[in-house]
Chain A
Amino acid sequence: MSNVLLIDFGSTYTKITAVDVEREIVIGTAHGITTVETDIMDGLNQALDELFAITGKLEFAKVLGCSSAAGGLKMVAIGLVLELTVEAAKRAALGAGAKIMGVYGNELSEYEIEEIAALKPEIILLAGGTDGGNKEVIVHNAKMLTTLGLDVPIIVAGNKSVAPQVVKILSAVMSEVVHTENVMPKLNELNIEPARGTIRDVFLRRIVEAKGLNKANKFVNRMVMPTPAAVLKAAELLGKGTEYEAGLGDLMVIDIGGATTDIYSIAKGDPNKRNVALKGLPEPFGKRTVEGDLGMRYSATALFKAAGAKMIADFAGATETDVESYMKKVEENVEYLPQSDIETKVEIAMGRACTRLATERHVGQLETVFTLCGDVFVQTGKDLTAVKIVIGTGGVIVNHKEPESILKGTMYDTSTPQMLKPESPEFWIDEKYIMASMGLLGEEYPEVAIRMMKKYIVRR
């Protein structure tokens, strides 16, 4: 028996994908409403009934799950300097698929502790100090966290010299304190993989149970990771390939949702131009950014503010009044779908604005510095101008008639030449919405997952 079932417990829908790993095909997909508040199995059974109605009864050799249900994996990241260990901790958490509720630097105050307590994070990542560097702040912050009044798993990934002391302080009140390698062992040296892995372990051990996802344990062999981590994994596999199956090379993935827009890039991002100096933190090869103010429904008002009526009106060829009234309408009624020609145009324009702004925040920037030794180009972040493949996934893009008009927002724009966006990308669409599933499948069958993505993610 070679059937594998992959489940994505989403915030709204529980999506299932049945694959045959021998024939490397998708047997069928289906979805139900996520029912994490009552019994998560209700929604899953609903999806299974829908699936079996099409495929007939199936048996599965393996069932793997990922989840972004009940608000995703809520995390707070703490470091010392905003541009350094705070940023490193944030990237580790994002890479692990977390939803970042807040980031904090320097010595925490009582007010900030109250704020963190109110955010009710499910995991706290505590960093600060390079190895052998600043010791006082992380120790201070550990002491402050003991007054949180909540029992939250804490991952310690800061200055190794005081790690034992920090763990000891926290363990006095917290039931789960895990130590891992420093997210920044040396200045400007990023080391986020160990923290990413540890976050995932804690997610599996603690969060799955706390969220009531363990009720699915009888049915699901393994709840593997948060959904965004599964998408990142799939993107990494497809880009890099393995020893036995070649990847597609550098790529980006765009996932627009009702509340957020996620951008993934799988690329080194070194300068493509000559005579460019790199500045800032080194970039992770597989990078994820999330924009909480760019989304099609719950974040429509925030998107309106971030993009401005003019950008969306220009994209749509509509008036600013049309744009404003439509965007108000969809935020009030998130189930609303465009009814007229003009509404469809505005809807597409909103998607393109999400893509454009989120890409601009994700990619690196080039700056010219005028010096006595001539003009020098300085690059901060990733140069993605040479990226050839941009993949669209997520409900908004997948169910769209013209997904490429939304993905156009990723493209290099001569009016903002400092933004290092892809210059001439091809647009590929994850039509069957399987990327998260393929990330799960890739845990056990990486080559099969790569080949299936090559087959099912199609170029437009």
Chain B
Amino acid sequence: MENNKVKVVLGVIGADCHAVGNKILNYALAQGGFEVVNLGVLVPQEEFINAAIETGAKAILVASLYGHGEIDCRGLRDRCREVGLTDIKLYVGGNLVVGKTDFTEVRNKFLAMGYDRVYEPGILPDQVIIDLKNDLGA
């Protein structure tokens, strides 16, 4: 049954309309055994949260590819706490910042913002699926 699959919310945050990676991830995650609630591009934080509440999703996967990731992604963890999504996993990936910043610095910044996993550019969907299965015990 489809409904026994673990649900994850997927989307590209902010004023970002890069759609290709989103479609690839959607496909890969579905193949990997997850039910993907894909919100597509141009997704505000509220929509990620509303979707996660209503569908009972176990993780939110945020993508940002246009360099404004730091601004757009800030505060998502706090909002999740506020609405009662206490156990939800938050993953983020893409081109999170502009320029050649050391990725360890970027990772630490996003971990401090409350994300559980931070992916650097070029990571393959397989890694995300492995991580999800580990983190969610699914």
Inter-subunit contact B16/A371 (CB<8 Å): yes
CB interface residues, A 190-227, toward B, < 8 Å = none
Chain A at the B interface: SS class? loop
Give which listed residue, B3, B15, B51, B66, contacts A187 with CB less than 8 A: B51
- B17 with A373: CB separation less than 8 A: yes
Contact call B53/A371, Cβ cutoff below 8 A: no
CA distance A131 to B66 in the complex (A): 34
**Nearest residue, chain A, Cβ from B4:** A132
Interface size on A, residues (CB 8 A): 25
> Which chain B residues numbered 1 to 28 have a C-beta less than 8 Å away from chain A?
2-4, 7, 15-18
Residue-wise interface mask of A (369-380) relative to B, using a CB-CB cutoff of 8 A (1 in contact, 0 not) = 111110010100
CB-based contact A131/B16 at 8 Å: no
User: Please, how many angstroms separate the alpha-carbon atoms of A136 and B3 in the complex?
Assistant: 16
CA distance A55 to B133 in the complex (A): 77
Is B55 a contact partner of A370 (Cβ separation < 8 A)? no
Set of chain A residues within 8 Å of B7, measured between Cβ atoms: 132-133
Stretch of A81-89, A293-301, A314-322 lying at the B interface:
A81-89
Is B42 at the interface (CB under 8 A from chain A)? yes
CA A187 to CA B2, docked complex, whole Å: 14
Q: Does A420 contact B (CB under 8 A)?
A: no
A161 to B35, alpha carbons, bound, how many Å? Answer: 16
For window 283-331 of chain A, which residues contact chain B by CB distance below 8 Å?
A: none
The 8 A CB mask of B20-54 against A (1 = contact, 0 = none) is 00000000000000010100011000000011011
Which residues of the other chain, B, contact A84 by a CB distance below 8 angstroms?
50-51, 54
- In the complex, are the beta carbons of A369 and B42 less than 8 A apart? yes
Closest Cβ of chain A: how far from B10's Cβ, in Å? 11
Also in contact, A187 and B17, with CB within 8 A (given A132-B56, A134-B56, A161-B3): no
Q: State the CA gap A133–B17 with chains docked (Å).
A: 27
A409 to chain B, nearest CB (A): 32
A187 touches B54 (CB 8 A): yes
Residue of B nearest to A159 (CB): B56
Q: How far is the CA of A293 from the CA of B4 in the complex (A)?
A: 45
**B16 contacts A133, C-beta separation under 8 Å:** no
Q: Which residues of A contact B53 (CB under 8 A)?
A: 80-81, 134
Give the complex CA separation of A130 and B55 in angstroms.
5
A258 part of interface (Cβ distance < 8 Å): no
Contact A85 B54 (CB under 8 A): yes
A101 in contact (CB, < 8 A): no
Let me know if A371 and B15 touch, CB within 8 A: yes
Interface contact B56-A376, CB-CB below 8 Å: no
Count the A-B residue pairs with Cβ separation under 8 angstroms: how many? Answer: 60
Q: How large is the interface on B (under 10, 10 to 19, 20 to 34, 35 or more residues)?
A: 20 to 34
CB distance from A84 to the nearest CB of B (A): 5
Give B116 Cβ to nearest chain A Cβ, in Å.
21
Interface flags, B57-83, vs A, CB<8A=1, else 0: 100000000100000000000000000
Closest residue of chain B to A185 (Cβ to Cβ) is: B3
CB distance from A159 to the nearest CB of B (A): 8
**Bound-state Cα–Cα, A84 to B37, Å:** 14
A361 at the B interface (CB under 8 A)? no
Asked whether, in the complex, the Cβ of B54 is within 8 Å of the Cβ of A132, the reply is no
- Residues A133 and B56 in contact, CB atoms below 8 Å apart: yes
Given A277-B42, A372-B16, A378-B42, the answer on whether A80 and B54 have CB atoms closer than 8 Å is yes
> Counting CB contacts under 8 A, is A345 at the interface?
no
Q: Which chain B residue lies CB-closest to A184?
A: B54
Interface residue? A121 (CB, 8 A):
no
- Determine whether the beta carbon of A134 is less than 8 Å from that of B17: no
A451 close to chain B: CB less than 8 A: no
Q: Which residues of B contact A130 (CB under 8 A)?
A: 54-56
A129 at the interface (CB under 8 A from B): yes
Interface residues of chain B, those whose CB is within 8 Å of chain A, are: 2-4, 7, 15-18, 35, 37, 41-42, 50-51, 53-57, 66
Known: A132-B35, A371-B66. 19 other contacts (CB 8 A): A84-B50, A84-B54, A85-B54, A129-B54, A130-B54, A131-B3, A132-B56, A133-B55, A133-B57, A134-B54, A134-B55, A161-B3, A187-B37, A187-B54, A277-B41, A371-B42, A372-B16, A373-B18, A376-B42
27 residue pairs from A and B, CB less than 8 Å apart: A80-B53, A80-B54, A81-B50, A81-B53, A84-B50, A85-B54, A129-B55, A130-B56, A131-B3, A132-B3, A132-B7, A132-B55, A133-B7, A133-B55, A133-B56, A134-B55, A134-B56, A186-B37, A187-B37, A187-B51, A187-B55, A279-B42, A369-B15, A370-B15, A371-B17, A372-B66, A378-B42
Measured CB to CB, the residues of A under 8 A from B are 80-81, 83-85, 129-135, 161, 184, 186-187, 277, 279, 369-373, 376, 378
The 5 tightest CB contacts between A and B, nearest first, are A132-B3, A133-B55, A133-B56, A134-B56, A371-B15
